[in-house]
Each structure stands twice: as C-alpha cells, then as structure tokens.
Chain A
C-alpha cells in the first residue's frame, strides 16, 4: 500500500487525465483515479469538475470504492446540486441492501449531503432505517435524524421523525439509545422550549440502565443529557447520584467529568445534613485528582474544571494541595492552571508549603510562569493575612534578584498589598524606588507611579520621581498617563507649595496635548476641581479607598453556576458562557443549578445560608444588578477600616467601564479602565459631592453624653456667712445648666435666694430665677439646677471661661467666680461639612494653630471620637496613615465661632497630639482643656 503517491501528482492537465482514468473500463484504474481525486481534495485542490465522472463510479460492489465516492459526494454535492440528484437512486437502492453495513453507510452518507432535493428522497429510506432490524442501522439512522434536522427542521417535524427518535430511547440496544439521546439533545438545543427531551423518571431510569451498558462515548452522551434533568425531589436526586457515582471509576476522563457534572448539579438538591451528602463529597475528590495523571491536554481541561469546582465547593479538594504542585516538565498551560488552583486552595494551614513552592517557581525559566508565580505570592499575602509579612519579604528577595520582569511583577503586586494593608509595609517603598529605572512595562510603571502618588508625603523626592516620568509623557501608554495625572494631582494636594508647576504641566499635557478622550476628560475634571474648589478636590482625590477584597478574580456567582452546569465542555475551559463563543441559538440557553429541596430561596442563597462559617463563600464582586447600589454604598455607607470592601471592578462587559472609571477617578485603581468616557463627562460639577464624601467614623457610634465634672466648692461657708455653694456646669440636650448645691452651715434659716452673673466672654446669663422655694434651715442642703442662656451681655474675661457670680440671700450678697469648661458652649450642630472643614482649615492662618499633647489616654480612636462627640466635639473624618489615626474634628461655640482640630492617635502610644485651629486663637487652650477633661473621664 503506497497511497502516498497520490499526493505527489502535480502535473498540468491533471484534471483531464483523471477524467480519462475515471472513465476507464478497468476497475483497478478507476479506483486509483478516485483515490487521486480524494488526495487532491484533501490538499485543497478544486476537483469539482470531475463530479459526473466520479458519481459514475458509485455503482460498484466494491465497498472501499463506494466509500471514496461517497466521501467525494459529501464534499461537492452542495456545489453541484443538480448533478447530485444522479446519486439518489444508488442511495435509495443501497438503503435496501441486505448487508446492514451498506444500509447504514447509505443512510449515513445521504444525511451528509446538504441538498434539498436529495433530502426529500431521504425521508422514506430513513423511516425504514429507523425501524431496521439491525441495531447498527438504527443507531446510524438515529444520528441521521439530527443531520436532517440541521438541514430542514420543518421536514423532520412534519415527517414525525422526532417521535420515532423518542421511541428509540427505549430501544433494547444501548448504543441506539445513546445515539438517540445525542440526536435528541442536539435537536432540543435549537428548540429551547420544545420539551422535546421529555425527561421523566421513567425515561431517566431507561437512560441509567443504558448507561451501564453502552460504549464510553454513549455514556458521555447520556450523562450530558442527564445533567439537564431537574429531579423532582432530593430522594430522586440521591438515587440518580447513586447510580452515576460508579462512572467516576471509568478510564475515560470525559465520562468522569460528565459524571462529576451530574453529581455537582444534583447534590445541590441534597440536604447538607444528609450522610450521603458527605459521602458524595468525599467520593468526588479522588477521581478529580486522578484526572491529573491523564495526558497533558486532558489535564488542562480537568484543571480548568477543577478551578470552577474549587470555587463552587472548596471543601472537596481542600486537602489536596500537593497534587497541584507544578512538575518541572509539565507543559506551560498545565503549570499556569495548577498555579491558579494552588492560590485558590491556599489557606492558613498550608500557606508555608505554598509559599515555598511559589518561591521555587519564581526562579524558573518560562517568563509567563515566573510572572504568575510572583503574582501568586502577592495574592497569597492578600488572601492569608498571617502570611502577608512573609510574602512581602519574599517579594523583596525577588526584587533583589534584579531580574527585570520579576521586579516589575513584584511591584505590581506590592501595589495591591498596599491597597489591602494600607500603612503597613511602607518601609519597602525605598527599595521599590531604587528600581524605578528598570521598569519598562506599563503596568509596573503605573503601579509604581500609583505608589509614589499615594505615599507622596512619605517620599521626599516624590516630585522629582514623578517629574522624571513626565518627560516622556506622550510616549507612555494610557494606563501610565492616567496614573501619572492622578499621582501628580495627589502630590499637589499633599504638597501644594512645591508642586504647583508640576501639576500645571501635567494638566496641560493631559488636556491640551493629548488626543485621548479619557485622559482629557480626567484632566479637565481635576483641573476644574482644583480651580474651583481645592477642598473638594482633596475630598475626591485623597478620599479613603476601599480595601481590595481577597479574591478579586473569582468568577461571578451566577456565571459560576452556569459554568458548573457546563462542566467538561468548552464553556468550562474558556470560563465563558456558551453564548460568548457559540453562534446562533444553539446551546445558548442558560443552564441553572437546581435549588435545594425545602428551601424556597434560590440555590445560591441557600448555599450561603447552610454552609458553615468556615466555608462561607468569600466576598465576591457583586453581580451586575448590585453594582450600582454598591457604588452608591461606597459613598453612603461607612467603610469601616476592618471590613474589606468590595473592589468596584467588574469582570465583564459594560459594567467594567463604569466600575473602573469611577474607581480610577477616586485615585484608586491602577488598572483603571481607560474608557471612563462619556458617562462621567456629563456633570463634572456634581462629581465631588457624589463621590467624595467618605463618612465620618465617629458618626456611627451612640453618643455617650457630655461629661459633667463633679461639683467643686465655689463659695466656702467662711466667706459667705455660713452659706456654702458648690457647683458644676452641665450641658444637657442643648441646655446649659448650672448645678448648684447650697448648704446652710450657719445657725439661722436662709431665704430669698437670687443669682446674677457679671458680663462674661460668652454672654452666659441665668435663664430664670434661682428656684430655692423653701427656706434653707441650718445644716440643710439643697440642690438646684439653674438653666443658663447665652444671650447675656458679653465681655471678654480673663481667663476666658471665667464667670463672676453674685448670690444674694436674706443675709447678704456674696460674690464668687468660677470657671466653666468650654464644652459648655459647644453646640449640638457643630458638625462641619467636610468640604467646609477643609476650606476653613486652609483659610485659618497657620499662626492660629496650636498644638497640644494629651497624655495617657488609653482609648482607640473610635472610642475617643465617640466620647468626644458626647461633648459636641464632632469627628468629621478619619484617616489612617502608617498606623496613625488622624481624626478631624470640629466644634462650634454658641457664639458661632468654629474650632477645628486634628487629633493624631498613634497605635500603642497613649499620648495624643492635638492641633487646634480657630479664628479666635484664644479659645484653643480652653478647647484643649475640654478634650483632656472629656477623654480622661
């Protein structure tokens, strides 16, 4: 057999020669000629001109020749429909042949000839073949129905072939059943609502029986079909699972994966407390691991699927970390997938092992793999907090290798680590800056620029660094340009005096010299912000960023569910729904996991509800519907520092534009989508208010009430002829009260009490008479509360909070002076708008600022701000920089004077630093005293 010679004929006039040979009388020569024709066809030559001559050879009893002619027909019939009719007779005749192999061949080939006229002739033979006595013919006919349906769906329905096909599901031969199932499934896909595959417990039972008997391929068809069934209840679900589990030991990986699909889907319906549920979970792990010893291509498919399974049910493989360790000679696609799964399975329990492996991988040869390994180290840091420190030091080690792409990748992930643990690892910034020159990839440059901008106040030469990038601004990629713009604006807001020129330069580069609309838009927004309202600009640009969530790359839950229903298929390999890569309607219907029995909720939510705390799914990117709400939440709900917020970036489609765009405006996202474009350009004026207001931390807690000092003796009895007055001041619900205790230490009864204040700094005056109604007998004590107003005459006192009081009784008039805490006149509406705060803070000259130390306070910042709020000292904003909490607070006095304060609390340091700014600097001292008083009590 040396058929290869057919491939070599490339003479001129070849077609002509072949024609002669095909019409030769000698059988052998004919056969040779047909072979040559097929060889030419294979390599792509057009031999359609020989159609009539080849079809003439069809009438032969040589099966091999017949098959070759049929092959030719299938290829060219469509281009020569009229001549193809010539073949019909032979087909019809062959369908009656006593040899079942020939009958099947005829019906199989006929179905492949996509010529309308021929299909009409096909109907009758097909009908016969569907009921043929030989199973080989029936199984071929079953597939032929699907072929015919593909050509002319209406014809198939009209001819009633679908019913015949359905009957074949009950055929005695398992292969006929399998092919019928395959054909029906395919036809059903193009009729989503036809209920064609009328799956009911009886048919399911038939399928499960056939499952044990048919070929490996047939098992796949049946399992894939079973996966579309929705069991009635958990009992049925369990019984199907029980009959499917033996397939997990099949040598064919596709059978195993399809069985896994059925089980993954149906176990959703089983109650989790069921013993069987646990058994099933345990049974799933070994076959999945075994798939990894298959050939590399299958390993790849398996790993892509395991990636989904791990996200859906992490408990199945949580102890199998080791099998995902990369082998030295794994193909690169296997290595990359294994790495992905390793990160998903990483937990506190195995992190040491994982890190050791990752470090090993970071020294390999393949650049992509090394990069991914470096990235993985960063992801471990973000995922397992306890390992963060180790990860960072590993990354620093890797940076020391100076291998260019390793350094760049490390910088990109360190940026993410900063976003997860702000103010924790800034000590490494210096090392990063050393490598600035070697960065040539946009992502790494952008990351570095982000770091410089974000920590500009910590980097002495931040302006120089950023300026150096600015030189080649127009040669940078958009990502870098956007980031550079934001970083310089940040720098300007932090160090306004030195960087004015720089910011103007970048703004003009972005807005005037660039033709990138995104860059221009962003530039304009910043420009307008800076020129109209620098305070608002600060709000927007330096706003506190939400922490990034641990697993930003998780597949969105609804998509994940759909993909679970497609385990083993291309969709699961691409991690995309079929609609993303399949044309037309076929297979585009969304598949869903059945809901768990007994819970009326969706499967998804019941899953969350019933899984234990340890397996609660990690916070995932919100599904599309929630996104807007989430973006709003970003503004309205307090992002408490300890709870990682969700990063507003979507994986898919249009939402990404929105998410990335907004985020990057906040100065947060490095990879910010460059197309923030139109939506944001609409109302730049509205942006600051919509985005910038990060809520005050202290606002959440309940006020603890104003502090009231214990009474002190103001007027000793000796000085007042036996009347002793002690008292204190309190502010309750906006009313100032002077609480007095009058004690009669004299021998006679006292009556006719009255009180009067001298003019004082804040116009305090009794709002009513001193209510001592009964005479005060000797040794009697009486408590009186005197409401005060602040509408009295004003005179500046020395000290400022001094109050001179005159008390009169039936004996005499006595004078004394006392000092009230300034908090007495802190009004309840003393919470300043953030923008106003910033503006005011700037407006007040620096000379008016006073600094104080409050010593020995053992409160955290939240408790402190709660406490202060009770005394109408309001925290407007909180910032955390390098473990130092900065509280920004405002106070309003009854006379409308605003006092602004910045309190710095270093964790672990009991001494707070307080900076107070006020237009009337005299009050600062007294405000400080109030702080001290409130905090210490």
Chain B
C-alpha cells in the first residue's frame, strides 16, 4: 500500500510529508525531488522508480503531489486517491496553491491521518469528512452526534447524512457534454465521440430515493417492444446508443446492470451523477473547411470556412477558431467576415473569435502569412486547426426523460420538487487537420 505522501512546491521544497510505512525513509523525499522535480529532462512517466521505490505523482498548478511505495500497490487506486486528495483539499480551501497548503498544513495532516490509514484509503467523501474534521477545535459532541458521524463515515450511505432539511426542495440537472472530433482535411471524420457528464445539484430533504431516466436506446427499445412504436420515426432519433457509462458511487450498480435503471440516494449539494460516452450519430455542431496553400517558400495562404450545423433558432457562443502558423512567421494579414481575428505570435496561431453564431450559417476567414526564409530542413508539422464553442444542446442527442424523487418518510412528493434541466455542449478536442 501507499508508504508515504509528500507535497512539494515548484522548487521541490517539502510542504507536507506524511510517512505511513516503515520502509519509506526520509531519503525518499529527496529522491523524488532530485530525480523528478529537479530532473534535467522532463519526466516522461507519472510513475517512476528509483532504488526500488516507486513514486506516483500528479501536478496541480505548480504543486506536486507524490505518493511513494515499495510494494506492488494498485497503481490505479493510488492515482484515484491522489485525485481524490486534490478534490478534498479543494473542497476545504478551494485552490491548491503553496500558500493555501502552508496555511492549512495542520488541517492537511489531519485529513491525511483520516483518509489514509497505514496506506489504505478510507472514506474520502468530503460531505462526511466535513462533519468531523473541522479545524474549529473540538466541539463537545453528544453521543448521538458522535455515533451519527461514525456511522456515516463507515456506513452504506457514506455520502449523505441524515436529517437534512430544506424549505424548498429543488434540484438542478446539467447535462454537460464535450464533443471531440478529428477530421481529415477532406472532411472525413477520423474519429468523433462525445463524453458527457450529468451533474446534479440537489437540495432535498431527508433521504430521498431518486430515479433518473434518459433516452437510452436499450431502455427505449425494451419499452418499445410492448408499446407503440409510432413516434419512433416522427422526430428523427428518439434514443441514443450509449457506448459506456460510469456512475457516482451512490448509484446502485447491480440494479443498473440487471434492469438498466439508475436509482440512487443523492449526496447533498453538487456532485457528478454519471459519465457516459457515445460515438454513434453525433451531431457535429461545426464543420471546419481549411484550405492552406504554400506560395513559394516565404508565403502561406490560409482560408478557413466554418459552418454551423444545428437548428437556426439556437445560438452557439464563445466560438474560437485557432489556426496554427509556422514558427518562422514574420507577419500575418487577416480578413474575416464576422468576429475578430488576431495573430498571436507567442502562441504561433491566428485566433479568430466570434461571440455568437446561429445555426445553419457559415463564416469565413482568410489570411496571408509571411514567412522568414529558413534553412531548417524540417518541414512544418502543420498542427490541426482547433475549435472551441458552446452550444445549448447535447451533441450526443441525450435527453433527460425524468428524474423522480421519493421520500417515504417526509411529506413531500415528486411534484413538489422544483427541477431544472439544462443542456450544454462544449467542444472537447475539436480538430481538423489541414
């Protein structure tokens, strides 16, 4: 298991050092600093081994978190734990920075003592942790309070405490998707997928039982067999094929496996209910058509057309097209019909920004790039043209069908809960080769 956990600043100074196992000595702290943080070359693996000691590291802004072990530990678990540790710290003192860590070092030690015992990760749900690791000094808890804490920390529903009350029962559901695309210069889709998340903010009283439904093809097909199939052809595709999905630990996986129904008791506040991935029938909100022409050795002509491909009534926002330019660019002249375009020498790219664009429109940019003659033999790699945007629909086609809330003990019903659903589609890595 994890033998120790160290946190360093960007200079390699130790901010936190917690050793759990006897086989990890102080020299391990230095080994990591010398071999990874101060390494002359960029370290090429998140897992490194020096003198039979393995180091797992992640970096958040300029803070290094390193877990150390001498055993054959579960590597995936160690990384998951490090991410979790970051989440927990963020939940306690927002940004992970050198200053925040120094300011909260006692708290961090306390947390590390609680969530990692002898190197074994323990309950690390911030909801539960915040009930008894407070840094407010010890409150004289009553016996009931104490056992409530311990049962929550160890219990089946470690993510929610009993006795939550809201005057207004409300929940917010965000379907956040990022659509990824790699397209060839000829407009052929090399790969495309949507990775989506359903993020929920729940302000519900008691221990509500929730059931979430969406237009999952498997579910719809199952229901369609018995019922009417009329509406399947009516408005295009009714259901979507989900390649794979993963759930927050509150979701009963065995139930999903057997019935494909998503039922759970939600944590209080914000959390990620599920993640999913689709690759079929993706709506690609934009199409990028590049045209790059090399005019002699010192000039490049670039023309890029973008076309929006969704309902004209919808508006895409924060559109940004990034056209890479060669390293030896000396000057750029840009003309665009819409938005603003600028050559950013520091980023080696022309950045074209459009605030809003309705569906089924197209826009164009053309640029002349002057090049300095070089005798560099190496050809310019022509990185792909990338795009950023935000659209108010889910490119995967996912639709929330229902989210039912049952709380048998309290007297509010599903109808009393105010529900908000929102769809946001963002660009992930949305690239067109040129």
- By a beta-carbon cutoff of 8 Å, the part of chain A in contact with chain B is 1-4, 6-7, 35, 38-39, 42-44, 61-64, 67-68, 70-71, 75, 98-101, 104-105, 108, 111-112, 114, 134-137, 139-140, 143-144, 146-147, 150, 173-176, 179, 182, 186, 212-217, 220-221, 224, 243, 245-247, 249-254, 256-258, 286-287, 289-290, 293, 295-298, 300-302, 322-323, 325, 327-329, 332-333, 336, 360, 363-365, 368, 401-403, 566, 568-574, 578, 581-583, 586-587
Contacts and interface: CB of A to CB of B under 8 A. Distances in A.
A368 B45 CA distance: 13
Interface residues of B, number: 103
A174 B74 contact: no
Given A252-B80, A568-B75, A297 B56 contact: yes
Given A108-B113, A186-B1, A571 B103 contact: no
Nearest to B138: A63
A253 B76 contact: yes
B338 to A, nearest CB: 26
Which 8 residue pairs are nearest across A and B when measured between Cβ atoms? A286-B244, A4-B102, A136-B150, A254-B76, A246-B257, A246-B253, A254-B77, A578-B72
Given A64-B138, A333-B45, A44 B26 contact: yes
A256 B106 CA distance: 34
B333 interface: no
Contact of B13 (A43, A364, A571): A43
B336 interface: no
B243 interface: yes
B117 A108 contact: yes
A2 B104 CA distance: 8
A64 B137 contact: yes
A295 B49 contact: no
Contact of B154 (A67, A139, A224): A139
17 contacts: A1-B103, A38-B109, A100-B146, A137-B150, A174-B156, A212-B252, A252-B249, A254-B74, A256-B246, A287-B244, A289-B244, A295-B83, A296-B46, A301-B75, A363-B381, A569-B75, A581-B54
Contacts, number: 285
Among A105, A134, A578, find the residue whose CB has the most chain B CB atoms closer than 10 A. Answer: A134
* Dominant secondary structure of chain B at its interface with chain A: mixed
B272 A251 contact: yes
A298 B146 contact: no
A568 to B, nearest CB: 5
B73 interface: yes
Interface in B238-252: 243-249, 252
Contacts of B58: 295, 297
* Dominant secondary structure of chain A at its interface with chain B: helix
A136 B56 CA distance: 29
B76 A143 contact: no
Contact of A212 (B110, B254, B386): B254
A212 B382 CA distance: 50
B72 A101 contact: no
Contacts of B47: 297, 300-301, 570, 573-574
Given A186-B1, A212-B253, A4 B154 contact: no
Interface stretch (B121-129, B212-220, B399-407): B121-129
B256 interface: yes
Interface in B139-167: 141, 143, 146-147, 149-151, 153-156, 158
A883 to B, nearest CB: 35
A307 to B, nearest CB: 14
B225 interface: no
B128 to A, nearest CB: 10
A253 B80 contact: yes
A214 B123 CA distance: 9
Contacts of B231: none
Interface stretch (B15-23, B307-315, B359-367): B15-23
B190 interface: yes
A422 to B, nearest CB: 33
A249 B257 contact: yes
B29 interface: yes
Contacts of A67: 109-110, 113
Contacts of B46: 296-297, 300, 333
B154 A175 contact: yes
A570 B117 contact: no
A150 B254 CA distance: 37
A44 B29 contact: yes
A3 B69 CA distance: 29
B158 A215 contact: yes
Interface string B1-35: 10000000000011111011111001001000000
Contacts of B135: 1, 64
B339 to A, nearest CB: 24
B116 to A, nearest CB: 10
A4 B249 contact: no
Given A571-B72, A581-B54, A42 B118 contact: no
Contacts of A112: 20, 118
Contacts of B370: none
A104 B15 CA distance: 27
B137 A100 contact: no
B378 A401 contact: yes
Given A136-B154, A254-B80, A333-B44, A322 B190 contact: yes
Contact of A114 (B22, B102, B429): B22
